[in-house]
Structure 1
Amino acid sequence: MSVDLRKVQNLKITFLVDNSIEWFTKLPAGFSSELKQHLTGHHHAMDPVTNTPLIDLDNYCCGAHGFGALIETRVDEASSPQYTLFDTGPDRFSLVRNLKSVQINTAKISRVITSHWHSDHTGGLLSFLDYRNEQGAKTAVVVDCHPDRPFQRGIAPGPNYDKVIGALARDPEFDAMQSRGAVVDKHAEAHVVAGGGVYVSGEIPRVTSYEQGIPGARRWNEQKALWEDEEHIMDERYAAIDVLGKGLVIFSACSHAGIVNVIKHAVDTFSRPIYMIVGGLHLATPDLIERIAPTVKFLSETLRPSPTYILPMHCSGFPAKIALESAFGEGCIPAGVGMSVDLQGNEEHEARLFPAKY
């Protein structure tokens, strides 16, 4: 399939929702913790006695079980920046609080991409729309979502996977988005947005032998009034940005399809190297531990060139992070909420590293 994804000159990522917060670990060039941003960039408060920047923790980001990232792209120097929100976290509070903490003007966000219908990725959508309206946004925001919205999803844990112990909060309804002024843009197919600089996938092919769905995933069938198996979350989508002189940055918010399946599809689609992998890898639960070794082996040994950076977030899990750190060393970044990443494209590097494109 041919997709006209334009290379971008600049990419900035701000993590607005994640399970973790990380302030102190040494970070590569281009990465910045929230603490540093507050002390050096934001309009921080000053302690009245010592005249020192105040670390006011009441106004810093909080972690939450979910994911959300602001993606700022600029195709070239003549183009205006495009602001895309990828997922909105799990609840009414986290995203809005953290937007305030890192002082984001939501009026400039023109599109929200929902990676899939799970409330830890869509739960903050309506409160975001309300907050954006309160901030006085003059233009409508587009909500880019899959048309197959389930009535509800639930969890049946192992080892038997036979009893649903909890139903996830229902995802926002299309009418509720529209009533808040959003334009609902339903896509099951792959497409590009943000001036051609952001790719949103369609259905992700399941090709590996070890990434075969999520045991215990359930979906409520309204007609039959019962829970049905739904191990393959087929409405899940990933996003990709091609940074000039670096390669693809992949956003996989939860990797229900399997991160190797995601990467294989991205490489097959674009014939470009993977520079950075961002988001949840869904390797945290005990029944998925066996997937860690083949996943890490593919990313670090089979995939060539291997990614420069991998940011295992949200549902990746501690054992997966340890294994990735062992394989990638400083290339495995302990990313967290409030952190930003600033990538600058380089035309000279593009010509030298990828001469076949010229």
Structure 2
Amino acid sequence: MASTLSRVNSLKITFLVDNSIEWMTKFPPGFTSEVGAHLFQQKPPIDPRTNVPILDLENYCCGAHGFAALIETQVDGADPHTILFDTGPDSRSLIRNIQAMQTPINPIERVVISHWHSDHSGGLLSFLDYRASESSPQRLFPVIVDVHPDRPIARGIAPPPTYRNVIGRIPEDPSFDSIHRAGGVVETHNEGHVVAGGTVYVSGEIPRITDFEGGLLGGVRWYENGSAGGEWVNEENIMDERYATVDVLGKGLVIFSACSHAGIVNVAKDAIKTFKRPIHMVIGGFHLAGPEFQDRIQPTVDFLSSKMRPACTYILPMHCSGFAAKVALRAALGESCVPAGVGVGVHVQGDGAVDHLVHPPTIV
């Protein structure tokens, strides 16, 4: 599978759903803020009194507990490919932020749902409906919805200290039938595969090999027992979770891990084993928020900061990473830890002239 992933000359990312908003952070080269996009790339309203653009906050992005990233790849001389990785938690946040960022939706050819949790799948049907309403029939082509086949009936939350008392269920994920009715073409995959013209790899089930990443503590799943009804069953290993990665010429892998229930170290190790390429950037939720995950923060930071050679250029802890993990990563990595959020754009420009100098990584 690694041999079929094409290295790209250009990777553009727009974060369309995330828990955080970052307007005032000093970003590294290649990163752009939402404010700059509104003021300089769009057509903001002009204040008639002062003759300067108005920060039209009514039409800016909103944060939400979830994740969605627009990924655009291009191999030199070929047409670009655009996919949407996750869709946020609800029917409103993704659409509002697409409108705020004036994101073209016609080029989106595939939606990849990282795993069956509604903070990642909850905006899917509203996106498909919006896409149909905003596109002319002549330009509307079927969009593939790429999901793991093992869709749960329900998932719930059983908090510490016992992890046995289920306090609530997570909203239902879209069904295959509802996706079809909304105009999506369902593809189910439990194995690694390449999409977007061979430029994006979507993983299969992620091997759990670390000794400290123990899955989603308190994760439970509802199973039906026929006439006997049903019951909640512990499900710490969310085995339907998948990551995506893009290989950029002269830079290496850019990894998208939306929630990292498998552990971001397990994700990184699997990508390195699969592709034997250094990791340029790690993006997404690391699921280290909450006191029950406190013990995982330091070994995660140690791996990302000192166990890979060469080290990642940038780490972007988002969504469910948690404040304590972000502080620890920033302390260890300095400005290589980028506090990205919704509305932030990233352009990773490849360099084929130096790609032969990019050596396989090692883990110490």
Which moved further from structure 2: 136-145 or 63-72?
136-145
Aligned twin of 1:97 = 96
Aligned twin of 2:120 = 121
Count of aligned pairs: 355
1:255, 1:280 within 8 Å by CA — same for their partners in 2?
yes
Deviations 1:138-187 (A, max 9, x none): 10110000000001100000001111001000000011111111110110
Distance 2:295 2:358 in 1: 35
Deviations 1:29-80 (A, max 9, x none): 100010011111112221122111110000000000000000000022x111
Aligned twin of 2:108 = 109
Q: Which amino acid aligns with 2:350?
A: G
Aligned twin of 1:64 = 64
Question: Residue 310 of structure 2: which of 300, 305, 308 is its match?
Answer: 305
CA-CA distance at 1:351 after TM superposition: 2.4
2:10, 2:349 within 8 Å by CA — same for their partners in 1?
yes
CA-CA distance at 1:244 after TM superposition: 0.4
CA-CA distance at 1:212 after TM superposition: 1.5
Q: Which amino acid aligns with 1:264?
A: K
User: Which residues of 2 match residues 314-329 of structure 1 at below 5 A?
Assistant: 314-329=319-334
SS of corresponding position for 1:66? coil
Distance 1:44 1:198 in 2: 34
CA-CA distance at 1:89 after TM superposition: 0.2
CA-CA distance at 1:306 after TM superposition: 1.1
Distance 2:311 2:73 in 1: 24
Deviations 1:242-272 (A, max 9, x none): 0000000000000000000000000000000
Q: Which amino acid aligns with 2:104?
A: N
Aligned twin of 2:11 = 11
Aligned twin of 1:188 = 190
Deviations 1:294-342 (A, max 9, x none): 0110111111111000000000000000110011100000100000001
TM-score by length of 1: 0.97
Q: Which amino acid aligns with 2:27?
A: L
CA-CA distance at 1:349 after TM superposition: 1.9
User: Which residues of 2 match residues 323-342 of structure 1 at below 5 A?
Assistant: 323-342=328-347
Distance 1:110 1:54 in 2: 34
Does residue 214 in structure 1 map to residue 225 in structure 2? no
CA-CA distance at 1:117 after TM superposition: 0.1
SS of corresponding position for 1:148? coil
SS of corresponding position for 1:73? strand
Aligned twin of 1:281 = 286
2:21, 2:62 within 8 Å by CA — same for their partners in 1?
yes
Distance 1:14 1:309 in 2: 16
Distance 1:144 1:269 in 2: 21
Question: Residue 179 of structure 2: which of 177, 180, 203 is its match?
Answer: 177
CA-CA distance at 1:291 after TM superposition: 0.2
1:75, 1:195 within 8 Å by CA — same for their partners in 2?
no
| 1:186–1:355 CA distance, 2 compared to 1 (3 A) | closer
SS of corresponding position for 1:107? coil
Does residue 73 in structure 1 map to residue 78 in structure 2? no
Distance 2:7 2:333 in 1: 26
Q: Which amino acid aligns with 1:125?
A: L
Aligned twin of 1:231 = 236
2:95, 2:127 within 8 Å by CA — same for their partners in 1?
yes
CA-CA distance at 1:355 after TM superposition: 9.7
Distance 1:11 1:4 in 2: 18
Distance 2:303 2:37 in 1: 35
Aligned twin of 1:29 = 29
Does residue 143 in structure 1 map to residue 148 in structure 2? no
Give the 4+ runs in structure 1 shifted more than 2 A. Answer: 351-356
Distance 1:46 1:69 in 2: 30
2:278, 2:358 within 8 Å by CA — same for their partners in 1?
no
1:11, 1:71 within 8 Å by CA — same for their partners in 2?
yes
2:276, 2:360 within 8 Å by CA — same for their partners in 1?
no
Aligned twin of 1:162 = 164
Distance 1:355 1:328 in 2: 22
| 5+ long unaligned stretches in structure 1 | none
Q: Which amino acid aligns with 1:61?
A: C
Distance 2:172 2:3 in 1: 33
The alignment-based identity, stated in percent, is 60
CA-CA distance at 1:2 after TM superposition: 4.5
Aligned twin of 2:259 = 254
